[in-house]
Amino acid sequence: MAYLVHRLLVTGFPRHQRSIFYFYNYLKGCMSFNDFGLSEEILRAIKEQEYLEPTPVQQMAIPVVLKGHDMLVSAQTGTGKTAGFTLPMLQRLRENPKERSQYSVRALILTPTRELAAQVEESVRTYGKYLPFKSTIVFGGVNINSQMRILRHGVDILVATPGRLLDLVSQRAVDLSKVEILILDEADRMLDMGFINDIRKIITRLPKNRQSLMFCATFSDEIKQLADGFLKSPQLIEVSRRNMAVTKIKQTIHPVDNRRKRELLSFLITSKNWKQVLVFTRTKHGANRLTQQLEDDGISATAIHGNKTQAARTKALADFKRGVVRVLVATDIAARGLDIDQLPHVVNFELPSVPEDYVHRIGRTGRAGCEGEAVSLVCVDERDLLRKIEILLKSSLPKEVVPSYEPDPSIKAQAIPNGRSFQRRSSSRTTPHHRHRKNIR
């Protein structure tokens, strides 16, 4: 079983309707895309993707959306969640055909990052290729005028990052008053990135009688609060890949001194002849520095993070996917949502400060039923972070000291400021939120 249905939440949301879910369909097994009542055009597009059967999140979410319910889903990237909302969204728009009017939008999908927005819009185009819908994408960092020109004639589906969408709203370049379906993808990441006020402002522009869907990696109190504010009696669905991460992915911890991590990474890549490696660092600065050091060691590498222009990020990802560069160094937020299938190796150059991000990071490998390998280089300062990750995973991870890279026992642990990187410079003039937005993306 590629994915594990972890738990269906029926508690903790007192104001919401307790839902029945569609879990039994999944347990019945052998459900096919034909069972949902999707249109011929959509089924044809799915067939071209050669999907054999709906994933668990699709089996649970598609019927809920088709019935017009609001929905709160906890599912991570790699579970097939994008098709889980895109397919029924297309079906609902098709069942209720409407003329496009100037500046109008029928379905709005908000995502935290440009990369995720691009991937979601690509999915909309893929699954909707035999339908007459017009979709477009808007995000910051690129010229706004061409986006305004497209929106002037109205679109059926708009995929947007919150900041740029608000700019467009304030310039009256888009009219959200006719939105029928709102989808918040990776809502928890949007909160982490400080988009909460933007989202609230956007929601005030939407009609009350819309359908709203919200996707997040985990149900946190903040998410519940946000959901309380704008979902109506939502159906709750939780799908976890956590157990899959533990069982399908070979995870190894290499204890090593901080100052020797780079050397060890180069050694592992060359001695094991890894061809395609995604390496996580905690900061943009760290990502740049490591990329340069790997290049100096003769290993082709490129970095992807929020300081790069959109063109540079797109090129970095394309080069990595095509195998032009061997190593992609990424920060958590930049890597979030990247659809890189069947990646053989993921390396945590530094452990993430949020334990859930560990699961997210290693979820990049071993996808589509393939086995993967996740390696973490852990120095003495990170022992606490490692312990938290092991508590989350409910298991201890195997430790393997690489000969010649034994940690020096005389080095004592230093606290990581604010639970964040020891390499990070903190500024007393910035709030934690600002620091997060400035440093991590």
Question: Which residues of the shown chain bind ligand AMP in the complex (CB under 6 A)?
Answer: 51, 54-55, 58, 77-83, 339, 341
Shortest distance (Å) from residue 267 CB to ligand AMP: 32
Smaller CB distance to ligand AMP: residue 33 or 358?
33
Distance CA 31, CA 33 (A): 7
Smaller CB distance to ligand AMP: residue 77 or 348?
77
Instruction: Please choose, from the candidates 346, 343, 347, the residue with its C-alpha nearest in 3D space to the C-alpha of residue 367.
Output: 343
Distance CA 329, CA 327 (A): 6
Distance CA 56, CA 62 (A): 10
247 three-class SS: helix
Q: What is the largest CA-CA distance in the chain?
A: 72
Q: How many residues are there in the chain? A: 441
Shortest distance (Å) from residue 157 CB to ligand AMP: 16
Instruction: Please choose, from the candidates 286, 302, 291, the residue with its C-alpha nearest in 3D space to the C-alpha of residue 266.
Output: 291
Shortest distance (Å) from residue 127 CB to ligand AMP: 10
296 three-class SS: helix
User: Inter-axis angle of helices 144-152 and 162-170, to 10 degrees?
Assistant: 70
Smaller CB distance to ligand AMP: residue 296 or 341?
341
CA angle 49, 51, 57 (to 5 degrees): 120
Which residue is it, tokens 């452990």?
Answer: 351
Smaller CB distance to ligand AMP: residue 23 or 51?
51
Shortest distance (Å) from residue 105 CB to ligand AMP: 22
Distance CA 230, CA 216 (A): 15
CA angle 214, 108, 364 (to 5 degrees): 55
Strand 249-255 relative to strand 372-378: parallel, antiparallel, unpaired? parallel
Shortest distance (Å) from residue 52 CB to ligand AMP: 6
Smaller CB distance to ligand AMP: residue 85 or 358?
85
Smaller CB distance to ligand AMP: residue 124 or 173?
124
Shortest distance (Å) from residue 58 CB to ligand AMP: 6
Shortest distance (Å) from residue 266 CB to ligand AMP: 30
Smaller CB distance to ligand AMP: residue 79 or 353?
79
